[in-house]
Amino acid sequence: MKSTIPDTGVPITPPAGNGGDRQEASLHGEILLRLRDYVVEGNIPDGARVPERQLCEMLGISRTPLREALKVLAAEGLIELLPNRGARVRQLSQRDLEELFDVMAGLESLAGRLACEAITDEEIIAIEQLHYEMYGHYLHRDMHGYFQTNQRIHESIVAAARNETLKAAYANFAGRIRRIRYSANFARKRQRWAEAMREHEAILDALRRRAGSELSDILFQHLRNKRTAAIEHLTEPQEDAPASP
pLDDT tens per residue across span 181-220 = 888 877 665 577 888 999 999 999 999 999 999 999 999 9
Q: What is the mean pLDDT of each run of 10 residues along the chain (245 residues)?
A: 40 45 71 92 92 94 92 92 90 91 97 98 98 96 94 98 96 88 74 89 98 98 93 70 39
pLDDT for the residue 159: 98
pLDDT tens per residue across span 153-174 = 999 999 999 999 999 999 989 8
**Alpha-carbon span 211 to 147, nearest angstrom:** 25
Q: Which amino acid is it at 144?
A: H
The two beta strands, 86-89 and 79-82, are: antiparallel
pTM (2 d.p.) = 0.77
What angle in degrees, to the nearest 10, is found between the helix axes of 94-118 and 192-208?
A: 20
Instruction: Please give, one letter per residue, the 3-state secondary structure of 98-145.
Output: HHHHHHHHHHHHHHHHHHHHHCCHHHHHHHHHHHHHHHHHHHCCCHHH
Burial class (CB in 10 A: 0-12, 13-18, 19+), 18: exposed
Cα 123 from chain centroid?
21
Count of C-beta atoms within a 10 Å radius of residue 110:
19
Which distant-in-sequence residues (6+ apart) come within 8 Å of 183 by Cβ? 42, 230, 233
Burial class (CB in 10 A: 0-12, 13-18, 19+), 139: exposed
* Mean pLDDT, all residues of the chain: 86
